[in-house]
Chain A
Amino acid sequence: MKRGLSLLLALMLVIGLALPLAGAIAEDARPTLTVFDFTEELDQYLINNATTIKQMEDDLGVNLEIEVVSGMSTEEKTSTMIASGDYADIMFRVDERMIEAGALLPLDDLLESDGQDVLAAWGDSINKLRYPDDGNIYWIGSPRNRPEEITDPGACLMVQYEVLDKLGYPTIKTLDDVYQMLNDYLAIQPDLNGTPFIPWGIWADSWGYNHTVNNPALWVNGFTDDSNAYVDQQTYDVTYFTATDYFKNYVSFLNKLYLNNLLSENAFITKYDEFNSQVASGRVLAMIYNASLASDSEAALRAAGMPERCYARFPILADESVVDRSNVYCESYDNGVGISTSCSDPALAMKVINYIASLKGNILFNWGIEGVHYDVIDGKRVWKEEVAQKFATDPNYRYQEGIDCLGWWPLYYGSMKLDDGDYACPQNKQAFYGNADDWTKKVLDAYGITCWGDNFDTSGTPTPYGYGWTLVIQAGSDAELALTKADTVRHTEVPTVVMSQTQEEFDANFASMVDKLYNECKINLWEDAMKQAILDRMEIWGGQK
């Protein structure tokens, strides 16, 4: 026992001495920049040695040390970083907190001198990155200032193929259509081999509430994602969305579902894991949700041999007069990559960012290296067979190569086109229909479309201030406190409202909730702060500051 221990210690000593020595030998005379990346998807070891990162290092003559700060408790790690002032040179996914902490350099001058590609890519949209308080640019986000063709929508109504099939592919447009459809289907098929269905899917724990309870009320009324706010488009007065009649109408829809046994009493205590299980078991007939969040469950359904229980995506409206704007892109940014005040060579750091944002960088980090990962066929980029294969089967491949895994880097994603006319990203519209399974094809054909995105109009009117949820309320302020309290209230009161038995009860419960919001939580403080934030933002975006 003792000998084994001392042997182990000796071994560790040797390794401990050897490692830094090895590092010292390998290091060339390149300048080194330290990088913090606040995401958890990246694997620190893989990314530091990734092919594309190495390529960038060679092209620029720089050595990058990337530290991936995991998603857990970033709050605490960030606070120690700020308190001690130990920042890395380049930091990804920073937001207004870092600005308030005085950690970031203003980038305007650096952009002028070394950030030509960034400016070219962004054009006027660069104003949307300005910090309202002083009008400086502190971070560069992922640009979305080009038109995008949606293949698969985000927020939408999801209905099982099987349900549509059995009912002869009806047109589903409004909430009433949904209600009718559920009743009709259950009349034909009351349960799934003895297990009861969950006709309407909801999970209301923490952020699930936004996706399944709050936001559907936005979509059906033709609003874009202002999250907690209802904004009057003329005066920019803000009302807490939960207190509005729009929300009340949607909740009465849920109430109707509940009273007709289409909404389970457990809906409001369902947590994320359980919900995914429910969806993956094929029991959830329909829901309003964000389709990308259900992809794991759909994969499980297909793997279990139940592809007919996957979901079709439609827009959903309260009634025929509303125009759907659920997938209209309102360009606004809430985080990006910044250069810290403790950086020894800001110009070099800006060169790195510039490289990433340039055409070359976009191709490198989305597609790979020509000849190695992709070929140009008929003027269009196509991944090589074996590369595409590896992406589909090996979860580590993308991190090893550093391709298509760098979320939050200032790259173009999705079905946007780059300056050379080709797509930014391999997953695009053309591939969708070809890659779809038989059931998906069947349903798509029945509705006369080639992909779900065809159902959605992305060219509608965006708001002049972008997305409401990206607006910043000062941390630690009374407005923020009011919002937190209101959030608690709505989590506890909305279930009660939904489960009211009579119309009088419903009205009374709703009124009491609104009362609490204004009197106990003082949500009007938040409303005022939001309005001010909107006005500030519009001023900056107009380029007036």
Chain B
Amino acid sequence: MVKRTLAQKLWNQRILVAMALPFMVWMLVFNFAPLMGWSMAFVNYKPRYGIFSSEWVGLKYFAEFITDNRFYEVLRNTFAMSGLNIFFGTFSAIGLAVLLSEVRSTAFKRTIQTVSYLPHFISWVVVSNIFYTFLSSEGLFNDVLLRLGITSETVSYMSKETSFWGIVTFSQVWKEMGWNAILYLAAITAIDPQLYEAATLDGVTRFGKIRYITIPCIMPTIMMLLVLNIGNLLNATGFDPSYLMGNDMTVNYSENLAVYAYTYGMQMSRYSMSTALSIFNSMFSLLLVWSANKLSTRFIEGGIL
């Protein structure tokens, strides 16, 4: 192979380069240029003076949240809620997609699929209302449990710290399962039908087809989404579910990073603090995604990314 200089290679692939270059510029402008704003975290930013005239405080804000005990509690909550969310969310979405793909009746399949993503469109305000009503002492859940004799007295689930993680995970899975399944469903659609035909001729059971064809074929998609989601661990459970589903009695378990950043950052007009937390968030997420990718090289050659 003749060694080519970079310039020559670029010229050889000039059409590709032409196709990709505008987007690279786009990313530089919209994703990377705003990063200059990170300097806000190192000054006591007052909008009046702009970033460069505000007083330099160095790592003051970082020190503030690193030494805050509450911060670690909040991190713990975030990991727990997001982790549960990703774990159950992924499995349920894949499960739903597989189940749907097994259905023969088109009408039934379309109906269920449409219905399944409806919760995605309901805002968290409404969803939290629904769950509060459902799980309250006079709500349906307690009612059913009492009648079935499983419990002997009503329990106010929303006020119990220990049940919060379970409730919020359930609500998130319920809300996003159908929507997340769309991607997996699209992946399943792309599987070559001939594989299934061949399997049928070989006498493979339905279950076997799922196990040996469907899942392996969409594995790259699954792995990639998983890696990306792990990178998103700090943000997977956003502001809304934590703030709206949580309340004074569960706050020690419900407050996550997004709420913390809002309370001590934006709400108090402390832009510098918000930015400092945002930097922490970004760095940590990148670390996570890099690690997850390294881990995935053990399953798929070359990693996901």
Contacts and interface: CB of A to CB of B under 8 A. Distances in A.
Interface of A: 75-76, 79, 82-83, 97, 100-102, 195, 204-205, 209, 265-266, 268-269, 271, 273-274, 475-476, 480-481, 484, 488, 491-492, 495
Given A266-B137, A269-B156, A492-B252, A101 B48 contact: yes
Contacts of B249: 268-269, 492, 495
Contact of A101 (B47, B159, B250): B47
Nearest to B132: A274
Contacts of A480: 268
Nearest to B270: A476
A491 B159 contact: no
Interface in B42-88: 44, 46-48, 50
B158 interface: yes
Nearest to B248: A491
B228 interface: no
B136 interface: yes
A195 B46 CA distance: 54
The 5 closest A-B CB pairs, nearest first, are A82-B47, A269-B247, A101-B48, A269-B159, A491-B248
A481 B248 contact: no
Contacts of A79: 47, 269, 271
Contacts of A195: 138
Nearest to A75: B266
Given A204-B248, A492-B248, A495-B249, A266 B268 contact: no
Contacts of B187: none
Given A100-B46, A484-B263, A268 B248 contact: yes
A97 B251 contact: no
A481 B44 contact: no
A271 B247 contact: yes
A451 to B, nearest CB: 36
B13 interface: no
Nearest to B64: A481
A476 B265 CA distance: 9
5 contacts: A82-B47, A83-B47, A204-B248, A265-B159, A476-B270
A5 B271 CA distance: 44
Given A82-B47, A269-B159, A495-B249, 15 more contacts: A75-B267, A75-B269, A83-B50, A101-B47, A195-B138, A265-B156, A266-B136, A269-B248, A271-B247, A475-B270, A476-B270, A480-B268, A488-B251, A488-B263, A492-B252
Contacts of A204: 248
A376 to B, nearest CB: 47
B266 A76 contact: yes
B48 A102 contact: yes
B156 A266 contact: yes
B268 A475 contact: yes
Contacts of A102: 48
B129 interface: yes
Given A79-B47, A102-B48, A269 B158 contact: yes
Given A205-B247, A268-B248, A492-B252, A476 B268 contact: yes
Contacts of B267: 75, 484
B264 interface: yes
A10 to B, nearest CB: 28
B251 A491 contact: yes
Contacts of B138: 195
B48 A495 contact: no
Contacts of A271: 132, 247
